[in-house]
Amino acid sequence: MKLSWQRRRLHLRHAFNIARTVASSSTDKQVLIVRIDHDGAFGLGEAAPVSYYHQSHDSAEKALAAAADALGDDPFAFDAVHERLWKLIPDQSATIAAIDGAMHDLAGKLMGLPVWRWLGLDRSRTPLTSFTIGIDSLDVMRAKVREATDFPILKVKIGTPDDRAILQLIRDEAPDKLLRVDANCGWKPDELVDRVREAIPFGLELIEQPTPRGQHDTLPATRQAAGVPLIADESCIDLPDVLACAGSFDGINIKLSKCGGIRPALGMIHTARAAGLKVMLGCMVETSVGIAAAAHLAPLVDYIDLDGHLLLADDPFEGIGGDHGVITLGDKPGLGVTDR
Ligand code: MG
């Protein structure tokens, strides 16, 4: 298998902020598109490294250079390739996810089957995706909610001193939509029950990552007060985290760039189910290539938040839809994504 890659510069429709990045006004975004050629076919994958998980475009490119000779020549040897990659580049999960995605795309194309099909999944079970509203001034957030009028589910970033005003604004603009909130670790453990009691009257479907990773002591009592599922994101990176989250959270948010791709995500989904946890699939800001890899697992989960490509002004790829929150698993082989 021959590995190559390319940096792609993209632009967001709006600056995108969460509780720990509120000052950024950048709309620039870079990702790495990874390609694996084999036997006249090719597969595409995407690395969207983020500094919060100690990864960068430079570290990803270094990891890709190191991985190029370790892929071997069997595009169906997923476990063997993963074993070699985790030894070689153990802290570069976004890069491993890109290679894993490209191998799934390639294997599907070699078999003439879409990934969801050869995984044996029922595409009619794909949930609707939420559309994310990042933190900004209230006026800009109002404009974003109005732009998102076609999306039936909103996920709103909170975890700020203005949470009440943000939630009031959302409900004024969108009184009937399903509403998810993500505090991105922005609430302190000792204020948690109060913050949750303040938010719940706005009618929430779930609350994501209320407190920082490792600060879980007040979560069990808060689950009672909340009455809606608490979902772990920053607290649940990979398989060993899944069981650690049971007891504190009601569910986990799996992102391929955190866990290393479709293959490890499958293990996390089955483990979460065995532990009685709900499962969400999330994403970074990424093109349709990265989003598609996660989307092929969507029939297995309760919630999807796969809108990274919808936040871009210039996604260079297409194939998985997203209008009105409908992610489409089509009949094209592999990930089903092509150049726009
Ligand atoms: Mg999150």
CA gap 199, 61 in Å, rounded:
42
Residue 318 belongs to what H/E stretch?
strand 317-318
Per DSSP, 335 falls in state T
Ligand 1 centroid to residue 327 C-alpha, Å: 19
**Can you read off the two tokens belonging to residue 120?**
């044996």
Ligand 1 centroid to residue 221 C-alpha, Å: 21
Ligand 1 centroid to residue 306 C-alpha, Å: 11
Give me the residue label for tokens 């302190």. Answer: 188
**Amino acid (one-letter) located at 271:** T
188, pLDDT greater than 90: yes
Write the DSSP string, 72-86: -S-TT-HHHHHHHHH
24, pLDDT greater than 80: no
Ligand 1 centroid to residue 208 C-alpha, Å: 6
Angle (deg, nearest 10), helices 93-111 and 78-88: 160
pTM beyond cutoff 0.85: yes
Per DSSP, 310 falls in state G
The 10 Å CB-count burial string (b at 16+, else e) for 325-335 is bebebeeebbb
- Averaged over 8-22, what is the pLDDT? 89
Ligand 1 centroid to residue 291 C-alpha, Å: 15
Ligand 1 centroid to residue 42 C-alpha, Å: 32
Give me the residue label for tokens 């491993």. Answer: 96
Chain segment 51-80, per-residue pLDDT in tens: 999 999 999 999 999 999 999 999 999 999
CA gap 19, 185 in Å, rounded:
7
Question: What mean pLDDT is reported for the chain?
Answer: 96
CA gap 48, 90 in Å, rounded:
16
Give the pLDDT band of residue 20 (cuts 50, 70, 90). Answer: confident
CA gap 105, 227 in Å, rounded:
40
Write the DSSP string, 156-206: EE--STTHHHHHHHHHHH-TTSEEEEE-TT-S-GGGHHHHHHHHGGGT-SE
Ligand 1 centroid to residue 181 C-alpha, Å: 9
Instruction: Give the Å distances, CA to CA, from 51 to 91, 285, 325.
Output: 12, 13, 28
Give the pLDDT band of residue 26 (cuts 50, 70, 90). Answer: confident
Give me the residue label for tokens 């490509």. Answer: 309
Q: What are phi and psi of 200, to 5 degrees?
A: -55, -40
Give the neighbor-by-neighbor strand order of the sheet with 2-11.
2-11, 28-38, 41-47
Residue 213 contacts residue 185 (beta carbons within 8 Å): yes
* Residues paired with 207 in a beta bridge: 181, 230
Ligand 1 centroid to residue 185 C-alpha, Å: 9
- Percent of the chain clearing pLDDT 90 (strictly above): 95
22, pLDDT greater than 70: no
Ligand 1 centroid to residue 73 C-alpha, Å: 36
